[in-house]
Amino acid sequence: MPAAPLVVIGGPTATGKTGLAIALAERLHALGIPSEIVSADSRQVFRGLDIGTAKATPEERARVVHHGIDLVEADQPYSVAAFRTHALGALEALGARGGVGILAGGTGFWLRAVFAGIDTDALPSDAALRAGIEADLARDGVGTLAEQLAALAPGLASRTDLRNPRRVVRALEIAMLRGDVPLPAPLGYPGPVLGLQLVVERPVHVRRIADRARAQFDAGLVEEARALRERFDPSLPAFSAIGYRESWAFLDGELGLDAAIELDARRNLAFARRQATWFRREPSLAVVDATGDAAPILWPSVEALVAGARTWVAPEPRPG
């Protein structure tokens, strides 16, 4: 069964990934070609985290089918392995109907797991061991764990972002269970892929992040955060999504509303810089300026993909 051609749209927060994915899907629909979106966002899998994670709205999901959203409760674990299985299942079903998939999101490792592949089933895990390493992290800090990783598995350490606590914890877990052996060979996506990463001119990007922060608070983020805290432990990893702790700080009288919104925007801007660094290291995703409307620029490349092209076709440069 042929795999669905896949358009991958990555990039930092507030670069227009969701809007572009929907625009391209609707252009395909207009040609009679089924198209569905797989959201690659590690926080949108949690039910109830709607405004804070900038999920596609119910109206948008009515226009284009979305996968990867509302899969588990906030207190349930969800792994990249589970996401890859979910995404590939949706794309296989779409391919059987002659459709085109659009994988869009800012969680770079999840994007890579689908389009480049990683044998996630072969990666060992041990919940008790992981808990012990995380306790060590809380006590000793990421630097000490990074030193342990370098001593135990220098090869694995050289391929790990040693400033990222989650990556260091996971790498140390793998090293303790399996030693310093190469990671499994990637299992690439079995169909044609058009890989893109969006960038936006900095002044525009800064303004978009600030505007979105205020719009989320205006749309009811504080009420969403209040309801979630009443149901769940606020220390859960799900609530590392920016906006919830800022909302709770407002509810608890620690911040005024404007200060909470400003802090939300500032943290999102820092997060966007970290995402941009990750995406710059992903050469298989071609850089696209999305400061303006990128859909018309990219449409010839999508048409080429649908026609059977197995390598991406560079779009014409943006005017001006």
Please report the domains of the chain, with CATH numbers, ordered by start residue.
6-120+186-200+283-306 (3.40.50.300), 124-178 (1.10.20.140), 203-277 (1.10.287.890)
If one compares 196 and 167, the residue with the highest pLDDT of the two is 196
Where does the pLDDT of residue 188 fall: very low under 50, low under 70, confident under 90, or very high at 90 and above?
confident
| pLDDT at residue 42, rounded to an integer | 95
Mean pLDDT of 278-297: 94
Confidence of residue 308 (pLDDT cuts 50, 70, 90): confident
Residue 140 has a pLDDT of 92
pLDDT score for 319: 40
What DSSP character marks residue 284?
T
Q: Indicate the SS3 state at residue 288.
A: strand
Residue 2's pLDDT is: 66
Mean pLDDT of 201-206: 98
Which pair of structure tokens corresponds to residue 102?
């659009």
For the chain, the residue count is 320
Average pLDDT, the chain: 91
pLDDT at 311: 43
190 or 8, higher pLDDT: 8
Residue 125's pLDDT band (cuts 50, 70, 90): confident
The pLDDT value recorded for residue 182 is 67
Dist. CA 317–CA 297, nearest whole Å: 8
Specify the pLDDT at position 65.
98
Burial class (CB in 10 A: 0-12, 13-18, 19+), 115: buried
Residue 313: its pLDDT value, please? 43
Burial class for 119, CB neighbours closer than 10 Å (0-12, 13-18, 19+): middle
Amino acid at 5: P
Q: Which two tokens stand for residue 86?
A: 């979910």
Predicted pLDDT of residue 160: 86
Q: How confident is the model at residue 216 (pLDDT cuts 50, 70, 90)?
A: very high
Return the structure tokens found at 300: 């010839």
